């Protein structure tokens, strides 16, 4: 029987287990949105995961929506990420960079730029955060601002930015990239009928609304190869004002087209709160029939639930997020039934200038 601790071959990437460290925004980069040695230590401590997907990483200044999140568009950022990939590879781990553009989910107080999106529709009841001073321990939540509707030139530029970011990621030593098309950010905004009211080739029908995702994916594949390109989608998540009754049909259409492109994987981002909608098994079966390569699921999984979906061959890898924060040796703890540590200070989840609450958690044996 398949289980989460057995090895797995994801195309030409050999994984020592089926545990994935999920992408988690921590806002711990240095000035200039540059990764540091502290970030390298943090990821290396968690390299026992079969594969790590990094925190969301903006492809441009325009693509940034939160303070102190890392980028992948300057030479300094590339050099910073090289420290991370080397540290993880030295520990025998694999690591993929998540490429991010927030679209309308931003504020000029974050990046001094007006947000952009498929349409000039503000994301209601949505906030981002800044830090009032470099020494601030707590983030200050601020509302998002009115976005500017993207022109065709803006769209072409974003496609180019994703492509360049993917090339930069490979230069930095990553094993691949994940195109972030989930959680209400730019690509997701194009996918949904309630946030995308365009009347050109990128709006209107489901076939048109998936065009940006497909064009970005094709451009990235042309530069780094389909075997290094994954896509993350979240059809069941509706926060950031993303409730679209057509989303499941749109998702399956996108999955069908992504299958034709032979991408490395689809990463299904699921809601992780207590009363979140449950994903029906029929949906998972349809996705398995539609998409032939690796399927990843992330969102509030326990070990039992993870093994259940793997044994049923509904997914191939399962991602764990918050458990990895206070348990750098999570794989060992799950496999040996060791107790799990708790997050010691919720104020350290986002932001911070030192190791406290970030890379200072111990393994169980220590």
Active site residues: 185
CB 55 within 8 A of CB 26: yes
- Residue from 49, 153, 142 nearest 91 by CA: 49
Q: Cα separation of 60 and 110, whole Å?
A: 13
Question: Tokens 């590879």 identify what position?
Answer: 89
Tokens of 52: 């790590």
Q: Cα separation of 14 and 29, whole Å?
A: 29
- Which residues in 72-205 belong to E strands, given as ranges? 95-100, 116-117, 127-130, 140-143, 148-149, 177-180
- Phi and psi, residue 12, nearest 5°: -100, 15
Neighbours of 223 (CB within 10 A): 16
Tokens of 352: 């911070």
Neighbours of 66 (CB within 10 A): 24
Question: Tokens 């994703």 identify what position?
Answer: 162
Enumerate residues 6+ apart whose C-beta is below 8 A from 296.
20, 230, 265, 266, 267, 268, 315, 316, 317, 318, 319
- Phi and psi, residue 70, nearest 5°: -75, 160
């Amino acid at each position: 029987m398949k289980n989460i601790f057995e090895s797995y071959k994801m195309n030409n990437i050999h994984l020592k287990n089926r545990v994935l460290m999920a992408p988690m925004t921590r806002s711990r980069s240095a000035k200039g949105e540059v990764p540091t040695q502290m970030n390298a230590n943090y990821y290396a401590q968690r390299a026992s995961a079969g594969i790590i997907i990094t925190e969301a990483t903006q492809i441009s200044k325009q693509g940034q929506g939160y303070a102190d999140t890392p980028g992948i568009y300057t030479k300094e950022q590339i050099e910073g990420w090289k420290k991370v990939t080397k540290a993880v590879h030295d520990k025998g781990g694999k690591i993929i960079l998540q490429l991010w553009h927030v679209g309308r989910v931003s504020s000029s107080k974050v990046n001094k730029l007006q947000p952009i999106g498929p349409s000039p529709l503000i994301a209601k009841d949505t906030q981002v955060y800044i830090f009032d001073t470099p020494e601030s321990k707590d983030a200050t939540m601020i509302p998002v601002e009115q976005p500017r509707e993207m022109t065709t030139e803006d769209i072409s530029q974003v496609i180019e930015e994703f492509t360049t970011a993917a090339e930069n990621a490979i230069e930095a030593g990553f094993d691949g990239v994940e195109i972030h098309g989930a959680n209400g950010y730019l690509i997701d905004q194009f996918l949904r009928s309630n946030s995308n009211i365009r009347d050109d080739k990128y709006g209107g029908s489901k076939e048109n609304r998936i065009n940006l995702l497909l064009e970005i994916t094709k451009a990235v594949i042309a530069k780094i190869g389909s075997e290094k390109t994954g896509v993350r989608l979240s059809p069941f998540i509706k926060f950031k004002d993303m409730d679209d009754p057509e989303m499941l049909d749109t998702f399956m259409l996108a999955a069908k087209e992504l299958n034709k492109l032979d991408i490395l994987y689809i990463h299904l981002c699921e809601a992780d709160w207590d009363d979140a909608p449950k994903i029906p098994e029929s949906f998972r079966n349809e996705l398995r029939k539609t998409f032939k390569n690796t399927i990843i699921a992330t969102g509030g999984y326990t070990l039992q639930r993870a093994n259940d979906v793997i044994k049923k061959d509904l997914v191939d890898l399962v991602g764990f997020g918050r458990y990895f924060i206070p348990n750098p040796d999570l794989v060992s703890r799950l496999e040996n039934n060791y107790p799990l540590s708790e997050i010691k200070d919720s104020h350290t989840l986002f932001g911070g200038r030192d190791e406290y609450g970030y890379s200072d958690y111990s393994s169980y044996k220590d």
